[in-house]
């Protein structure tokens, strides 16, 4: 028996890919606890009607979950304390780069960034002196806060996480953490005092999640998330990454695919049970 969670960002209606993820997480709880977490860190994108829609769609699928539902927007104090703890360890640095600066640096670099589908931050601001950082902050230059992942990894013994599903290259079992896989990730943003990776690990620990089930597209994120857990002395859940539901062209469903939102399927007279069966969750 496990505590699992489905953690959607409420910036659109749920589609078939989300339904598969939610049903997978609920099934993996195996009679244990199934939680819903609303990842509404970005107030400009998270809309109340999407939050209501998530609950409506999951209930229609026949799922039940524990109440109250945790919303990330209520947790800024906890996130702030964790950011302060990492800062006190001197593991963070301000980054003043614009997207354009980063793209230009990558284009001019002789070594290609390593992540398959995302540009790795090339570390432009990592080496700024404390005086220069302070000067720019005093001048009001806007910045994000990044994790110095090499420095962080140097503080820790080699790490691994346990994969019960499968990574994109068939990784399973004890997976050795590559702390630099995603580079110096953003820990806190300009508009919100925290970003995705840190919020997720804090919330998984806070909610007592023992098994994280989610799509394979988030497998690479697990490396740095395991690093953050170790830095903050949080327990490490098990992971089970699942395959993604793809459209006829072999692409991941996205917010664009209005025809496969659960709302539009329901409006066309499709039943929740039918969707469960279609996605391989009979009964």
Rounded to the nearest 5°, which phi and psi values hold at 117? Answer: -120, 5
Question: Which one, of 64, 8, 62, lies nearest residue 34 by Cα?
Answer: 64
Is the link from the previous residue into 116 a cis peptide, with omega within 30 of 0? Answer: no
Angle between helices 196-206 and 76-88 (to 10 degrees): 110
A 10 A CB-CB count for 114 gives: 12
Considering the complex, state which of residue 152 and residue 200 has its C-beta at the smaller distance from ligand GLU: 200
Local structure of 217: helix, strand or coil:
helix
Minimum distance, C-beta of residue 180 to ligand GLU, in the bound complex (Å): 20
* Cα dihedral 91, 218, 272, 33 sign: negative
Distance in angstroms (rounded) separating the CA atoms of residues 213 and 163: 10
Does residue 226 bind ligand GLU (CB under 6 A)?
Answer: no
Exactly one of 124, 218, 232, 238 binds ligand GLU (CB under 6 A); that residue is 218
Minimum distance, C-beta of residue 92 to ligand GLU, in the bound complex (Å): 21
Does residue 58 bind ligand GLU (CB under 6 A)?
Answer: no
Minimum distance, C-beta of residue 21 to ligand GLU, in the bound complex (Å): 8
Exactly one of 2, 8, 186, 229 binds ligand GLU (CB under 6 A); that residue is 8
Q: Which stretch binds ligand GLU (CB under 6 A): 3-11, 95-103, 126-134, 181-189?
A: 3-11
A 10 A CB-CB count for 118 gives: 12
Minimum distance, C-beta of residue 72 to ligand GLU, in the bound complex (Å): 9
Local structure of 249: helix, strand or coil:
coil
Distance in angstroms (rounded) separating the CA atoms of residues 282 and 278: 8
Count Cα atoms within 13 angstroms, Cβ side, for 157: 1
Does residue 122 bind ligand GLU (CB under 6 A)?
Answer: no
Considering the complex, state which of residue 13 and residue 214 has its C-beta at the smaller distance from ligand GLU: 214
Does residue 7 bind ligand GLU (CB under 6 A)?
Answer: yes
Considering the complex, state which of residue 50 and residue 121 has its C-beta at the smaller distance from ligand GLU: 50
Exactly one of 15, 143, 146, 214 binds ligand GLU (CB under 6 A); that residue is 214
Exactly one of 39, 57, 163, 184 binds ligand GLU (CB under 6 A); that residue is 39
Binding interface with ligand GLU (CB under 6 A)? 7-9, 39, 200, 214, 218
């Amino acid at each position: 028996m496990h505590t699992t969670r489905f953690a959607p960002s409420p910036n659109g209606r749920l589609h078939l890919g989300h339904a598969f993820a939610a049903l997978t997480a609920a099934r993996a709880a195996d009679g244990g606890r199934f939680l819903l977490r609303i990842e509404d860190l970005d107030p400009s994108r998270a809309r109340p009607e999407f939050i209501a829609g998530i609950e409506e769609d999951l209930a229609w699928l026949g799922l039940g979950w524990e109440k109250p539902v945790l919303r990330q927007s209520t947790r800024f104090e906890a996130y702030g304390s964790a950011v302060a703890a990492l800062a006190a360890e001197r593991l963070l640095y301000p980054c003043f780069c614009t997207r354009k600066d980063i793209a230009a640096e990558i284009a001019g670099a002789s070594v290609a960034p390593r992540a398959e589908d995302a540009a790795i931050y090339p570390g432009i601001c990592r080496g700024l002196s404390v005086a220069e950082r302070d000067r720019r902050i005093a001048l009001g230059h806007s910045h994000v806060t990044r994790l110095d992942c090499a420095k962080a990894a140097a503080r820790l013994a080699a790490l691994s996480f346990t994969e019960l599903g499968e990574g994109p290259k068939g990784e399973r079992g004890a997976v050795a953490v590559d702390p630099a896989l995603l580079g110096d990730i953003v820990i806190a943003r300009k508009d919100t005092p925290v970003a995705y990776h840190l919020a997720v690990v804090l919330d998984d620990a806070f909610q007592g999640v023992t098994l994280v089930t989610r799509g394979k597209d988030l497998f690479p994120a697990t490396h740095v998330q395991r690093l953050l857990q170790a830095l903050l002395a949080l327990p490490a859940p098990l992971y089970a990454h699942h395959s993604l539901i793809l459209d006829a062209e072999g692409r991941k469903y996205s917010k664009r695919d209005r025809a496969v939102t659960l709302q539009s399927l329901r409006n066309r007279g499709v039943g929740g049970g039918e969707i469960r069966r279609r996605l391989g969750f009979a009964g």
